[in-house]
Amino acid sequence: MQILFRTRHPEAALMRDAVERRVRFAFRRLNALVPRAEIKLEDINGPRGGPDKRCQIALRTDGAGAVVVSTVAKDWRCALDEALASAARHLLRTWRRSTAQRKQLRRDGRASSESHGTGEYPA
């Protein structure tokens, strides 16, 4: 997985290694679905304080298209963890839907081929 990390804030820049470890850990089981992740950390309102740390995660996925998740929290770590959890939930939900659809198509395909293969018409 390719991880791109972007920030203009010096405090957030110190977290580069920790962010990359957290992203790899969060998507360790979905690694095949996510070839690229872009993480962007921003301080929305500068030194005024409050819940102003934004984490935006943009994922380029195989099958689910582009997934973009953004969260705001008091500190960088909370914002990152919330965004990773939300992105992972979205990917899992998409993956489960596609798996269920493939299974349904296989069942439908078998049922139609079984009924047509006998030479008899279904009742």
Q: Could you read off the pLDDT of 44-89 as tens digits, one per residue? A: 887 776 678 999 999 988 776 788 999 999 888 999 999 999 998 9
Query: What is the residue range of 64's domain?
Result: 2-113
pLDDT digits (tens, 9 = 90+) for 5-52: 999 988 888 999 999 999 999 888 888 788 899 999 998 887 776 678
Q: What is the CATH number of the domain that holds 47?
A: 3.30.160.100
Biggest CA–CA distance in the chain, Å, is: 77
In a domain, residue 25? The reply is yes
The structural domain count of the chain equals 1
In a domain, residue 119? The reply is no
In a domain, residue 38? The reply is yes
Q: Which secondary-structure segment (H or E) carries 57?
A: strand 53-60
